[in-house]
């Protein structure tokens, strides 16, 4: 049995390792276009924050360990350019280690440029896993390729950003950053850049800050950014990034100015906004790397992600997809969704390996549970927003409460904000969002489990959650929120 995997990050390496554990005799080949495998991408902002840490600290296991200890035929620098589902082969070219970063990172994910002169390869497969991940959405604007403008997705992106900040490019330290986009990565990068004493402005076209979040909670996050001197410009079209010419640039620098500027236009007033920057981080979201699958005729979903069933199988019986390039069932709606997150990628990789090895495995799906840190604030969500719920046919109602993170009179207690929604027709819990400086990150998981169990709000309100004064009030914030919601159901 030849099991071939395209992509050597979370889903790909999880699948490869588990397949070899399940069946040490299986021939498992991983084709990874970069030189990096198995790293903690989500850790990059925190690594960038600390000038003394090596970016390679984020590598969980080195390629040689997978090769020698796990017996995986792990081939880095192997860029797959084509899947032939009939001949059951994958083919591509071998990219030398010295190849420039941009060659590995074109946004169509297939890197189909630059094939000449490279050594070609072709591998037959019995079962194939596409685990090509996602790639940053780069706005199609002038100046996006200027030096100092960079996305953050792969480990190599992380290295480039960190070395840019560390190296005092332009003979002066990076003092000003503009982040294009206000998603998880952009928000996490705020803290990292402030830790490096860099001024930060964030800008994006849509007018609502954190549009998926209940406005009262989004305001708390915004306030935390304000407190930490982050400038927020929502509702601005990003028109271009410009670089002063060399002479002007030198002048600008001698005046303490920055070599780049992001030119924006206010979408409601049409006023111009110019944001000076020594570095521009492009964090406008990601798109699935599904071009190879599309070209092979596999079914895809509305965001272009590869469509898979609960066994992670694509529309071709011999081809699986897992990780950020593939979709999932949402456990609340039961319908397809594309929520590219790390746990799902790892879990889906395992499930593919099990299925390939004959251990039938079906994944129920995702709840869209996520947590991130914005300075001192913990921000978490699970399930649907009210808008998503209404769109999915639920008769959704919501309450938003404020309570405390610790018991009455216990020192160090912080405000916790909880938004909770339920379905008037069935009484089912639909979603929870939480924001606070203490005790949010893990609390959300109780709600996530309740969503998996399709619990009613009434049943959830009766759960026996832990209480001790240093950790919460007698009525956990989730229970208080559920009790309030019950009055509306």
As annotated, the active-site residues are: 42
Q: Which of 378, 385, 403, 421 binds its own copies (CB under 8 A)?
A: 378
332 and 365 in contact (C-beta within 8 Å)?
no
CA–CA separation, 232 and 413 (whole Å) = 28
Could you give the dihedral angle defined by the CA atoms of residues 451, 182, 43 and 346, in that order, rounded to the nearest 10 degrees? 40
Separation CA 471–CA 277 (nearest Å):
42
Stretch that binds its own copies, among 199-207, 211-219, 365-373, 420-428 (CB under 8 A): 365-373
Choose which of 141, 169, 341, 486 interacts with its own copies (CB under 8 A): 341
Q: Is 433 in the site for its own copies (CB under 8 A)?
A: no
**12: which DSSP letter?**
H
Q: How many CB atoms lie within 10 A of CB 171?
A: 8
Q: Quick check: 10 binds its own copies (CB under 8 A)?
A: yes
* 459 contributes a contact to its own copies by CB under 8 A: yes
Q: Which helix (H) or strand (E) covers residue 392, if one does?
A: none
The residue (of 16 and 367) whose beta carbon lies closer to its own copies is 367
Considering the rule CB under 8 A, would residue 478 count as an interface residue with its own copies?
yes
Distance in Å, CB of 304 to its own copies, minimum: 22
C-alpha distances (whole Å) from 214 to each of 44, 46, 235, 369, 430 are 28, 27, 18, 15, 14
Nearest distance, CB of residue 379 and its own copies, angstroms: 9
Contact set for its own copies, span 388-427 (CB under 8 A): 407-411
Binder among 340, 368, 422, 436 for its own copies (CB under 8 A): 368
For its own copies, the closer of residues 201 and 325 by Cβ is 325
Among 194, 204, 347, 428, binds its own copies (CB under 8 A): 347
Among 450, 457, 481, 489, binds its own copies (CB under 8 A): 450
- Report which DSSP code applies to 307: P
Q: In whole angstroms, what is the distance from residue 243 CA to residue 249 CA? A: 8
CA distances from 78 to 29, 81, 134, 341, 489 (A): 11, 9, 17, 24, 55
Select from 175-183, 192-200, 296-304, 462-470 the region that touches its own copies (CB under 8 A).
462-470
Q: Does 475 bind its own copies (CB under 8 A)?
A: yes
Of 110 and 369, CB closest to its own copies? 369
* Least spacing, CB of residue 56 vs its own copies, in Å: 10
| Choice from 21, 24, 50, 223 touching its own copies (CB under 8 A) | 50
Contact 186, 210 (CB under 8 A): no
The nearer residue to its own copies, 193 or 264, going by C-beta atoms, is 193
Q: Which stretch binds its own copies (CB under 8 A): 83-91, 112-120, 257-265, 339-347?
A: 339-347
In the 3-class helix/strand/coil scheme, how is 321-354 assigned residue by residue?
ECCCCECEEECCCCCEECCCCHHHHHHHHHHHHH
Angle of helix 215-227 versus helix 184-195 axis, rounded to 10: 20
Applying CB under 8 A, the residues found at the interface with its own copies are: 10, 40, 42-43, 46-47, 50, 53, 57-58, 60, 331, 341-344, 346-347, 363-373, 378, 380, 382, 407-411, 439, 441-453, 455, 459-460, 462-472, 474-476, 478-479
């Amino acid at each position: 049995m030849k099991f071939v995997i395209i992509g050597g990050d979370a889903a790909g390496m999880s699948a490869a390792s588990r397949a070899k554990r399940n069946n040490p005799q299986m021939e498992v080949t991983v084709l990874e276009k970069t030189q990096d495998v198995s790293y903690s991408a989500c850790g990059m902002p925190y690594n960038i924050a600390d000038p003394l840490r090596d970016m390679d600290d984020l590598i969980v296991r080195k390629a040689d360990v997978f090769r020698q200890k796990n017996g995986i035929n792990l081939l880095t620098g192997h860029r797959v350019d084509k899947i032939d589902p009939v001949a059951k082969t994958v083919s591509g070219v071998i990219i030398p280690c010295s190849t420039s970063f941009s060659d590995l990172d074109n946004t169509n994910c297939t890197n189909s440029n630059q094939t000449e002169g490279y050594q070609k390869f072709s591998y037959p497969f019995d079962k194939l896993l596409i685990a090509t991940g996602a790639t940053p959405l780069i706005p199609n604007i002038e100046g996006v390729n200027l030096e100092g403008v960079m996305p953050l997705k792969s480990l190599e992106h992380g290295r480039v950003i960190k070395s840019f900040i560390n190296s005092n490019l332009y003979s002066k330290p990076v003092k000003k950053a503009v982040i294009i986009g206000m998603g998880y990565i952009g928000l996490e990068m705020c803290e990292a850049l402030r830790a490096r004493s860099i001024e930060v402005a964030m800008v994006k076209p849509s007018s609502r800050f954190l549009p998926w979040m209940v406005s009262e909670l989004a305001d708390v996050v915004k306030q935390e950014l304000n407190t930490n001197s982050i400038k927020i410009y929502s509702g601005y079209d990003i028109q271009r990034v410009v670089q002063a010419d060399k002479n002007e640039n030198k002048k600008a620098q001698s005046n303490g100015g920055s070599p780049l500027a992001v030119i924006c236009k206010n979408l409601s007033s049409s006023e111009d906004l110019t944001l000076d920057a020594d570095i521009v981080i492009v964090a406008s979201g990601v798109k699935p790397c599904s071009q190879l699958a599309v070209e092979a005729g596999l079914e895809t979903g509305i965001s272009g992600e590869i469509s898979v069933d609960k066994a992670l199988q694509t529309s071709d019986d011999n081809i699986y997809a897992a990780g950020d390039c593939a979709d999932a069932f949402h456990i609340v709606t039961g319908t397809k969704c594309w929520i590219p997150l790390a746990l799902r990628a790892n879990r889906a990789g395992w499930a593919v390996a099990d299925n390939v090895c004959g251990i039938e495995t079906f994944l129920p799906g995702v709840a869209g549970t996520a947590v991130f840190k914005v300075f001192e604030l913990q921000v978490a969500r699970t399930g649907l927003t009210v808008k998503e719920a209404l769109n999915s046919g639920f008769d959704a109602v919501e309450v938003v409460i404020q309570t405390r993170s610790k018991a009455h009179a216990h020192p160090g207690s912080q405000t916790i904000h909880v938004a909770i929604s339920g379905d008037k027709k069935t009484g089912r819990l639909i979603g929870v969002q939480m924001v606070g400086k203490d005790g949010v990150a893990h609390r959300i998981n109780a709600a996530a489990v309740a969503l998996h169990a399709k619990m009613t709000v009434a049943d959830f309100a009766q759960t026996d959650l832990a209480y001790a004064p240093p950790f919460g009030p007698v009525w956990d914030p989730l229970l208080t929120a559920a009790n309030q919601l019950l009055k509306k159901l």
